């Protein structure tokens, strides 16, 4: 019994980068950064069983759309239940790697990611997959759009800053989560502000 529990825990951490679902504190802290009064194109990456998805579906305006990207189909029943419970909202589930979904430039107003970026680090390839993911996120986000990402241990902040070419807008700490988490908020600069910065 204990051995099975330990094996499951190890599998969760290795594959999903988490021990249990994100807490309500973390979900609220991240979603407080989104202005739900506007119609938004929202992408959630790495929904798992949907602690963020349920709140997103409930808070988004009827004119908004929510794309949920989750590589593992074993979580589908939880996400499908949220979709069924939100008949007046446009929520679409995509079972694929996020790099396959983000093919359209400047599309999303908000990207909310639970991806375990630290797990994507790989010295042998000089973090090729990690950077593929971050470039895809940057590409798919509208100018002025916001990328929200939580991480344990404050990892990968400089990787995100490198890809976006600027410092993080805010970094906040949410202690009431297993594990305590850092929330990164990164807005995509407009082409104009990029030109001004470069001059
Ligand atoms: C840390 S869990 C987060 C689950 C949930 N959002 C939460 O906060 O409790 C990360 C999720 O990202 C998914 N994932 C990992 N790599 C992915 C990828 N390349 N594309 C889409 N989803 C991915 C995993 O299957 C896992 O469900």
Ligand 1 contact via 46 beta carbon (within 6 Å): yes
Fold of domain 23-198: Rossmann fold (3.40.50)
SS3 per-residue string spanning the chain: CHHHHHHHHHHHHHHHCCCCCCCHHHHHHHHCCCCCCCCCEEEEECCCCCHHHHHHHHHCCCCCEEEEECCCHHHHHHHHHHHHCCCCCEEEEECCCHHHHCCCCCCEEEEEECCCHHHHCCHHHCCHHHHHHHHHHHHHEEEEEEEEEEECCCCCHHHHHHHHCCCCCEEEEECCCCCCEEEEEEECCCHHHHHHHHC
Confidence of residue 1 (pLDDT cuts 50, 70, 90): low
Please indicate, yes or no, whether the overall pTM of this predicted structure exceeds 0.95.
no
pLDDT, tens digit, 9 for 90 and up, residues 75-105: 999 999 999 999 999 999 999 999 999 999 9
Ligand 1 contact via 79 beta carbon (within 6 Å): no
pLDDT, tens digit, 9 for 90 and up, residues 8-52: 555 565 556 666 899 999 999 999 999 999 999 999 999 999 999
Site to probe by mutation for ligand 1, drawn from 16, 44, 133, 149 as the one with most ligand atoms within 8 Å of Cβ, is 16
Site to probe by mutation for ligand 1, drawn from 48, 120, 129 as the one with most ligand atoms within 8 Å of Cβ, is 48
Residue nearest to atom 11 of ligand 1 (CA): 46
Residue nearest to atom 14 of ligand 1 (CA): 46
Residue nearest to atom 4 of ligand 1 (CA): 48
């Amino acid at each position: 019994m204990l051995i099975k529990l330990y094996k499951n825990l190890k599998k969760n951490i290795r594959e999903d980068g988490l021990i249990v679902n994100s807490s309500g504190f973390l979900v609220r802290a991240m979603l407080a950064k989104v202005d739900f009064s506007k119609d938004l194109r929202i992408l959630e990456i790495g929904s798992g069983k949907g602690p963020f998805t349920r709140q997103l579906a409930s808070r988004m305006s009827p004119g908004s759309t929510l794309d949920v990207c989750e590589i593992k189909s074993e979580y589908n029943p939880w996400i499908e239940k949220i979709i069924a419970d939100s008949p007046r909202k446009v929520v679409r589930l995509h079972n694929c790697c996020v790099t396959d979904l983000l093919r359209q430039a400047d599309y999303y107003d908000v990207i909310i990611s639970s991806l375990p970026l630290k797990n994507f680090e790989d010295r042998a390839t000089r973090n090729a997959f990690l950077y593929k993911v971050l470039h895809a996120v940057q590409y798919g986000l509208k100018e002025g759009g916001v990328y929200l990402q939580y991480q344990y241990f404050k990892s990968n902040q400089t990787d995100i800053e490198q890809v976006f070419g600027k410092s993080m807008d805010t970094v906040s700490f949410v202690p009431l989560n297993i594990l305590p988490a850092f929330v990164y908020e990164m807005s995509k600069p407009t082409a104009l502000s990029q030109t001004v910065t470069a001059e």
